[in-house]
Amino acid sequence: MSKQLTKDMIQDLIQRYKSELGKLEYQVVKTKEVLAELRDKATTAKVTAVKDPVEIASIGKSSYADEEVIVHKSPVRGRKSKTTAKKAKDKTKKITRNRKLSDWDQLILDGIEATGKTMINADLIELMESKKKKDKLNWDDVKLKAKLNSTLHKLANKKDLLVKVPYEGKGFGYALSKWATKKGDIPKKYMP
C-alpha cells in the first residue's frame, strides 16, 4: 500500500533536504580547510613515524581524557610535541552565514513596522492567516501557531531583529529592536 504525500509533507521534505545539503556543503568547506592546514603542516614539520591507521584508531586518546592526539611532530630539544584536538579547535574560525529572511519573517517585520506599535501573538496570527489565505495554504491553526512561534524565536533570539516586551495582562508583545533604548526598554509611543 503506497502512501500519498501531501503538499505540506513535500514542502517539509524539501526544507529538510535543503538543510542537509547546507550542512554537507559546510562540511566540504571545513574538510578542505583542514586538508590545506595539514598540507601546510606536512611541509613545515617532519613526521617521525607513520603508524598503521588501525593502530592509530585503536589508540584514539592521549593520556588526557578529553584531548585526542592528532599529529606527532619531530622532537624539539629532546621532547615530543603534540597537537591536540583542543588546541586545533581553538584555532578554527567560526563561519557565520547571513541568510536572507523568509517570507514569514518579512511578513512579521513589515506588519510590526506598518502598525508602528508593539504587537501581541493574536495580532500576528491575524497577519499570518491573511498570508495563508492569499497563498492558499491548507494549514490548521496548530501548524500556523507553530510557524509563528518558530519565526518569533528566530527573529527575537537568533537574528535580534525583535524585542520581547512584557505586555499588560496579555503575556508578551513584540517590537522592532531598533525601537529599543540602550537599556532595552521600548518607549511609550510604540506601546498600544
Q: Residue 63: which pLDDT band, with cuts at 50, 70 and 90? A: very low
With both helix axes pointing from N to C terminus, report the angle between 121-135 and 141-153 in degrees, rounded to the nearest 10. 120
Per the CB < 8 A criterion, the answer to whether 118 and 175 are in contact is yes
CATH 1.10.10 holds for 103-190:
yes
**Range(s) within the chain of domains with CATH label 1.10.10:** 103-190
Grid cell locating 116: 508602528
Residue 54 confidence (pLDDT) above 50: no
Lowest mean pLDDT of 33-37, 70-74, 180-184, name the range.
Answer: 70-74
The residue type found at 135 is D
pTM of the model: 0.48
Measured CA to CA, the distance from residue 1 to residue 100 in angstroms comes to 41
